[in-house]
A and B are shown apart, each in its own frame.
Chain A
């Protein structure tokens, strides 16, 4: 089950809120591609935007990669840890064939003035409406409550790994490489928990 773009390049865009672990998720996916012997480029955001702002990491891999940034509408996969950020990034980066893997919940960003916030109350950017709109637009869509899955495992900190597990189904990267990279890049004490979370996520994709 893999869908690449025309040039055989996989373009994975990860998005979420600063502090959610977008950079670490990008690191794990980037290293997994690298360990598979592919050319890899990734681009991440540091500094000001990490204080709760909207953040994204771009990862591209294939035979030869030039730009570390994914061109518009060329994402093969969008991995999102907040459904509002999914809405933000699909607009510019997705096409109809993009695989969208998103948390089914999110934290609503607020306008900075009361006036504009009233627009939200009258309008309808609810998770339900976003979900419906995503369903209409994307054939390959996974909305999951990765936080709940992680909580059931005993630690919400592994929720990103659940989503990465799901994403792993859509790459050419071998299962063993994924497991090894997860193992090497999480705190030692939580290796077993993270591996379990990864595999649960991976199975979600096969449902």
Chain B
């Protein structure tokens, strides 16, 4: 965080949310890492004396926040969009019990799936649970709305959802730093004595029926607040064109049509019916601009007002300034001549030539070259401890039920050794299910990382043992949550609190043993031949067994270099077998411009030695 003299700072949305929670006196904050939400808790831990912890999964994280709220402490739970599915069980009932101290849920959605398996629109959770929804459109609003959300939560006795998206989380803009008094923080942190309140928190039918009624009545009060609180704002700029929008779409729309009138919904559920009616009465043509689902559009439609929206702005992926501008042109709000396209690079006639046909192309032409440029896909790192496992699984030609983490990249060529990626912890359940179908002559495997195993693999492994399933469960234990940036988990024995001695380390092998699985293998994946042998043995066994890898991640907690370098010897026949492991340090001959038809290992090699094990002609050796 940089703070200049005027006490302003350039913060990302995630950082601003942490600051807003700090400003509101949050005492307990929990979550499970997930892009794009992952940076909120680490930033809060640095700022604040609050208890800030990674939890084992989102459900547990929300439950901890619930307990803290029952104990009169403001609490916050952060998650990515799909994580709220995991926490939806406590959420849906918390929605009717309400809270004691403020409880705020941050859900970070990922339109366009930059780093996710789906792009569900979590605004529907607010409607589903009948709780208020806030949608900030920049970092300043992230700070203010987060801080206000705790007051709203207490005023209306409800959890509050703040829904952000990747472009809010990972965009930076300027915020005014609030004055946070030590005295206020102290007051927030003073314990209040616990009071039992079974009518509020014991949701047996007799009490739950009453609470549900209360939650429905609460919606009406929330709607009134949505109309009158001033959080939702009308900006009049003429009566011809009006835009109703929320979140990042507001910024794109302001960019494209600064002279339109705006109704900006920052408190977007329940929608402010009176404000909307007033806006539509005062402005002649109104469209709704929102990313993903027509959530606001449908809410407005249920007020009996039919406005267009999704007719012009797509329902999948992210919006961009250009998509919004083009939509507004189609809607008749803008004419085509104020388009940026006037500056466009001239499209050369040659750009129509397909590279697949052997027509002569102009190699000096930018558009032509661009058409030939392959996409640059993410890949497992040089020295990644997952590589050998996937290469061995490919050789063994077994069905692999996969999971979510860096290792999902094992599904991409050239490794191509993972057959599913659907939800956190799916692998062992799906492996059990697939093994029941007898559709494969080979034994089934399920594969997941250490953090995923703790998140939701333990339960499915117990189920497998309970139901006498037979498959090989592989746990890629790299001692970190790598994909999201190297967060701690129960297997690392550390957490975010400055005093890290409070955390205990949970031993994965002991967990597996305690289930009663007795065939457990530990493998060092930097020894490819041994890895292959052990996997083969595990797959040949007719029992449920577990393979645990033990090499740490090469990126987290710090960059690892084994200190060895490898080279390909002259005489190599260029079979390119070593390139089948997808190591980014091994480059094909045509890239380095030599005449020799042999790959090349560049200086980014960290020395894992797998390629040496794989070269059947022994043409790879260590540089001494």
Chain B residues lying within 8 Å of A125, measured Cβ to Cβ, are: 369, 372-373
Contact of A108 with B412 in the complex, beta carbons under 8 Å: no
B199 interface residue, CB < 8 Å from A?
no
Smallest CB–CB gap between A8 and chain B, Å?
A: 14
The segment from B166-174, B457-465, B520-528 found at the interface with A is: B166-174
Chain A residues lying within 8 Å of B167, measured Cβ to Cβ, are: 43, 68-69
Chain A residues lying within 8 Å of B414, measured Cβ to Cβ, are: 112
Contact of A95 with B345 in the complex, beta carbons under 8 Å: yes
Does more than half of chain B's interface fall in helix, strand or loop, or is it mixed? loop
User: Which residues of B365-382 are within 8 A (CB) of A?
Assistant: 365-367, 369-370, 372-381
User: Which residues of B586-622 are within 8 A (CB) of A?
Assistant: 587-588, 590-591
Contact of B374 with A30 in the complex, beta carbons under 8 Å: no
A111 to B321, CA, bound (A): 30
A49 interface residue, CB < 8 Å from B?
yes
Chain B residues lying within 8 Å of A96, measured Cβ to Cβ, are: 343, 345
A68 and B10 contact, Cβ closer than 8 Å, known pairs A73-B340, A112-B377: no
A21 to B485, CA, bound (A): 14
A136 to B363, CA, bound (A): 12
Contact of B376 with A48 in the complex, beta carbons under 8 Å: no
Chain B residues lying within 8 Å of A44, measured Cβ to Cβ, are: 170-172
A95 to B248, CA, bound (A): 25
Contact of B2 with A31 in the complex, beta carbons under 8 Å: yes
Q: B33-45, CB under 8 A of A: which get 1 and which 0?
A: 0011011000000
Smallest CB–CB gap between B166 and chain A, Å?
A: 8
A71 to B322, CA, bound (A): 6
Contact of A91 with B251 in the complex, beta carbons under 8 Å: no
User: Which residues of B464-493 are within 8 A (CB) of A?
Assistant: 483-485
Identify which of B174, B252, B343 contacts A34 (C-beta below 8 A). B174
Chain A residues lying within 8 Å of B422, measured Cβ to Cβ, are: none
Contact of B370 with A88 in the complex, beta carbons under 8 Å: yes
Chain B residues lying within 8 Å of A176, measured Cβ to Cβ, are: none
Identify which of B115, B370, B590 contacts A49 (C-beta below 8 A). B115
A128 to B377, CA, bound (A): 23
Chain A residues lying within 8 Å of B373, measured Cβ to Cβ, are: 84, 87-88, 109, 125
Q: Which residue of B lies closest to A34 (CB)?
A: B10
Contact of A69 with B375 in the complex, beta carbons under 8 Å: no
Identify which of B115, B251, B584, B588 contacts A48 (C-beta below 8 A). B115
Identify which of A41, A90, A97, A124 contacts B172 (C-beta below 8 A). A41
Chain A residues lying within 8 Å of B114, measured Cβ to Cβ, are: 45-49
A43 to B171, CA, bound (A): 4
Question: What size tier do the contact residues of chain A reach?
Answer: 35 or more
Q: Which residue of A lies closest to B358 (CB)?
A: A122
A129 interface residue, CB < 8 Å from B?
yes
A46 and B344 contact, Cβ closer than 8 Å, known pairs A34-B174, A123-B361: no
Contact of A67 with B345 in the complex, beta carbons under 8 Å: no
A71 and B369 contact, Cβ closer than 8 Å, known pairs A52-B378, A52-B584, A96-B345: no
A17 to B378, CA, bound (A): 9
- Which of B8, B325, B378 has most A Cβ within 10 Å? B378
A7 to B251, CA, bound (A): 16
Chain A residues lying within 8 Å of B341, measured Cβ to Cβ, are: 72-73
Contact of A51 with B369 in the complex, beta carbons under 8 Å: no
A137 to B369, CA, bound (A): 13
Identify which of A18, A73, A85 contacts B345 (C-beta below 8 A). A73
Identify which of B255, B356, B363, B376 contacts A67 (C-beta below 8 A). B255
Smallest CB–CB gap between A29 and chain B, Å?
A: 11
A124 to B361, CA, bound (A): 10
A31 to B39, CA, bound (A): 19
Chain B residues lying within 8 Å of A123, measured Cβ to Cβ, are: 355, 361, 363, 372
Contact of B343 with A74 in the complex, beta carbons under 8 Å: yes
Chain A residues lying within 8 Å of B222, measured Cβ to Cβ, are: none
A49 to B484, CA, bound (A): 11
Chain B residues lying within 8 Å of A66, measured Cβ to Cβ, are: 251-252, 254-255, 258
Contact of B378 with A48 in the complex, beta carbons under 8 Å: yes
Smallest CB–CB gap between B13 and chain A, Å?
A: 10
Chain A residues lying within 8 Å of B412, measured Cβ to Cβ, are: 112
Q: Which residue of B lies closest to A54 (CB)?
A: B376
Chain A residues lying within 8 Å of B409, measured Cβ to Cβ, are: 51
A13 interface residue, CB < 8 Å from B?
no
A87 to B366, CA, bound (A): 7
A95 to B366, CA, bound (A): 12
Smallest CB–CB gap between B608 and chain A, Å?
A: 16
Q: Which residue of A lies closest to B482 (CB)?
A: A51
A9 to B601, CA, bound (A): 44
A17 to B604, CA, bound (A): 14
Smallest CB–CB gap between A36 and chain B, Å?
A: 10
User: Which residues of A11-65 are within 8 A (CB) of B?
Assistant: 17-18, 30-31, 34-35, 39-54, 65
B571 interface residue, CB < 8 Å from A?
no
Chain A residues lying within 8 Å of B374, measured Cβ to Cβ, are: 109-112, 116, 120
Chain A residues lying within 8 Å of B191, measured Cβ to Cβ, are: none
Q: Which residue of B lies closest to A121 (CB)?
A: B590
User: Which residues of B322-336 are within 8 A (CB) of A?
Assistant: 322, 325
A138 to B349, CA, bound (A): 18
A88 to B450, CA, bound (A): 36
A130 interface residue, CB < 8 Å from B?
yes
Smallest CB–CB gap between A88 and chain B, Å?
A: 6
- Which of A69, A73, A134 has most B Cβ within 10 Å? A69
A119 interface residue, CB < 8 Å from B?
yes
Smallest CB–CB gap between B123 and chain A, Å?
A: 21
Contact of A46 with B367 in the complex, beta carbons under 8 Å: no
Smallest CB–CB gap between A86 and chain B, Å?
A: 10
Smallest CB–CB gap between B585 and chain A, Å?
A: 11
A148 to B344, CA, bound (A): 33
Contact of A51 with B366 in the complex, beta carbons under 8 Å: no
Chain A residues lying within 8 Å of B176, measured Cβ to Cβ, are: none
Identify which of A40, A46, A95, A112 contacts B170 (C-beta below 8 A). A46
Contact of A40 with B35 in the complex, beta carbons under 8 Å: no
A78 to B217, CA, bound (A): 54
Known: A35-B4, A71-B320. 18 other contacts (CB 8 A): A18-B378, A30-B172, A34-B2, A34-B174, A40-B174, A41-B138, A43-B171, A46-B35, A46-B36, A47-B115, A51-B379, A68-B167, A68-B172, A73-B340, A95-B343, A95-B345, A112-B413, A129-B363
State the 7 A-B residue pairs at the shortest beta-carbon distance, nearest first. A47-B115, A47-B35, A95-B343, A53-B378, A68-B171, A51-B378, A109-B376
Task: Show 6 A/B contacts (Cβ-Cβ < 8 Å), sorted by A.
Answer: A39-B174, A47-B484, A97-B343, A109-B375, A119-B372, A129-B369
